[in-house]
Chain A
Amino acid sequence: MEIISKENLVYRPSELLTGATFNFCPGCGHGTVVRLVMEVVEEMGIQSETIGISPVGCSVLLYDFYNIDVIQAAHGRATAVATGIKRVLPEKYVFTYQGDGDLAAIGTGETIHTCNRGENIAVIFINNGIYGMTGGQMAPTTIPEMKTSTSPRGRNTDTMGYNLSITEMIARLEGAYYVTRQAVHNSAAVRKTKRAIRMAFENQKLNKGTSFIEVVSSCNSGYKMTPLQANRWMEENMFPYYPLGDMKVNGVLKV
């Protein structure tokens, strides 16, 4: 580090990362979003006021990477856990970080009701269209025809139902104050996602409702592709179902 002079430093990992090696597969979108959250917390100087909730899924070990207080929640229940702690510590910044199986399948009830109550928290939702941790099974977000280990001939919407666009539903809830869909497949998208996360944290000072950020992200291991292929596949196939952009800003619907 010492050989890099200050003026030449273009990037350094957030000091709020512990340095523990990320457990994510190389090329996975999780690694990017996980670091962005700590960059925002560091830049806002709110380490001592921030409590994170980790889900069950590939990001379960957030607490190994983050030098902040973290609660590990049961599968799908992160927003209920966040509600509990935010209600007794209303001055703190509370965020959940959840995958699509966690947030939009087993945890759908908690997700909808937390946002509908307008809990003053940030929800960061990684939509990779698949269950990463358990080995690539179909998720509620799996798009039609997509092959997974439990839809080996592709998602048949007649028998398996349609992919759930939960973020569009959330945007229509009175309690949701900021709802956006972002991605991390290129550096411009990463910068936008970081701005969205910053907004979600800043919003907590206003006490006006839930901030909800979906990040469409690839799971190259689950898709059985190289990281590059996975990102291209995601752009071509997932973005049409999950168009990027803001859905609700400052409580005002954009779509």
Chain B
Amino acid sequence: MKELRLMKGNEAIAEAAIRAGADAYFGYPITPQSEILEYLADQNPVETTGMVVLQAESEVAAINMVYGAASAGRRVMTSSSSPGISLMTEGISYLAGAELPCVIVNVARGGPGLGTIQPSQADYFQSTRGGGHGDYRLLVLAPASVQEMADFVALGFDLAFKYRNPVLILSDGVIGQMMEKVELPEFRPRRKENESWATTGKTPGRERNIITSLNLDACIHEQHNIKLQAKYRRMEEEETRCEAILCDDAEYIAVAYGASARISRKAVEQAREQGIRAGLFRPVTLFPFPARELKTAAKNAKGLLSVEMSAGQMIEDVRLAVDCRIPVKHFGRYGGVVHAPGEVLEAIKTFQV
């Protein structure tokens, strides 16, 4: 039976983690996502599903707790906002290097530095280029509604285990804080089976398992890197997700994810009312970026507008997707300011002159 609830995006993610059969959550408070830890602490799922919830002493500790629990082949999640994610990046690099599955949530806020607690999309580079040191990628999902906040948790765990790779849910303060109706996902049991690679204790039937990102031999380490790259290429082949709205006949297409996609959708509707053939292309995965799909959607377009709450980061992927053959412009308020649909509409119109 459908279970509908009015919830904040942050609460939806927390509830979805319990329902996705997560084994553990480790986190540290930071606005605008503290509701995730608070909601989980309040629900106390250790008494229902057995899910462990622990407030760590820092984001550094939290991500390393994730590393430990993920080494056991369990479903583990953490969440934070921009400055906290920066602190986690060493650990995230280790998770990627050791090929451990986990779900990391970033409810992004304005930077740089302590920045502001208002929403932002200025962590796009950090999210899609790996973030920490070394050649690695995270699989990045960008929810644009409270429903997707809920749905992407189980999806994130599935992808994390499919690829043995950390999955990042890149949200923003708008989606995290706003309330919407959400159909709650079904409960899934926690994992019973032991992963063949996990450090669960060496039983007589198998070789010992080692979780490490270290290789002293550079040639062996190059092979490891080649294997990782092959995995990222496979993601590019198989995991791109996107939504194209009114793009078939569109002359101008706004490309936007997360909160910017919702705002741009409104701008596109307003443009259509004024007789401007505008469309919206929404990447749902930011890595892998849906480049092929964007190229197809933009086949009749005369201009692409990368709408982001940043100084222009995704625009690089947009340009690459269309081989710079179509004019691509950036529009966005940033540093914590959220653009209005009217501003986006005006930016679309600049293609006409």
Chain B interface (Cβ < 8 Å from any Cβ of A):
23-24, 26, 52, 54, 56-58, 60-62, 64-72, 74, 76, 90-91, 94, 98, 199-204, 208-214, 216
* Contact A89-B72, Cβ < 8 Å, known A48-B201, A67-B202: yes
Closest Cβ neighbor of B205 among chain A residues: A48
Q: Which of B69, B70, B98, B199 contacts A69 (CB 8 A)?
A: B199
Known: A60-B214, A70-B210, A109-B58. A84 touches B199 (CB 8 A): no
Q: Are A81 and B72 in contact (CB under 8 A)?
A: no
Residue from A47, A50, A74, A87 whose CB has the most chain B CB atoms within 10 Å: A87
With both chains docked as a complex, state the minimum distance between the C-beta of A54 and any C-beta of chain B, in angstroms: 8
Instruction: Pick from A47, A53, A88, A110: contact of B72, CB below 8 A.
Output: A88
A85 near B202: Cβ-Cβ < 8 Å: no
Say how far B162's CB is from chain A's closest CB, in angstroms: 20
CB B55 to nearest CB in A, in angstroms, measures 10
Known contacts A69-B200, A71-B211, A85-B71; is A109 also within 8 Å of B57 by CB?
A: yes
Closest A residue to B54 by CB, please name it: A87
Give the residues in chain B near A53, CB-CB below 8 Å. 68
Residue of A48, A49, A71, A88 contacting most chain B CB atoms (<10 Å): A88
B203: chain A residues within 8 A (beta carbon): 48
Check A73–B201 contact: CB distance below 8 A.
no
A92 sits at the interface (CB 8 A): yes
Alpha-carbon distance A72/B64, docked complex (angstroms) = 11
**In the complex, A79 Cα to B200 Cα: how many Å?**
17
Instruction: Let me know if B201 and A77 touch, CB within 8 A.
Output: no
Indicate if the CB atoms of A84 and B201 lie closer than 8 Å: no
- A80 and B56 in contact, given A63-B212, A69-B210, A88-B69 (Cβ under 8 angstroms): yes
Q: How far is the CB of B113 from chain A (nearest CB, A)?
A: 21
Q: A68-B208, A71-B71, A74-B91 are in contact. Are A80 and B202 (CB under 8 A)?
A: no
Q: Do A66 and B208 have beta carbons less than 8 Å apart?
A: yes
**Are the C-beta atoms of A109 and B61 separated by less than 8 Å?**
yes
Tell me the smallest distance from the CB of A78 to a CB of chain B, in Å: 8
Q: Which of A80, A89, A109 contacts B200 (CB 8 A)?
A: A89
Question: Which 6 residue pairs across A and B have the least CB separation, nearest first?
Answer: A84-B68, A80-B64, A84-B65, A72-B212, A69-B199, A81-B68
Is B210 a contact of A63 with CB atoms below 8 Å?
Answer: yes
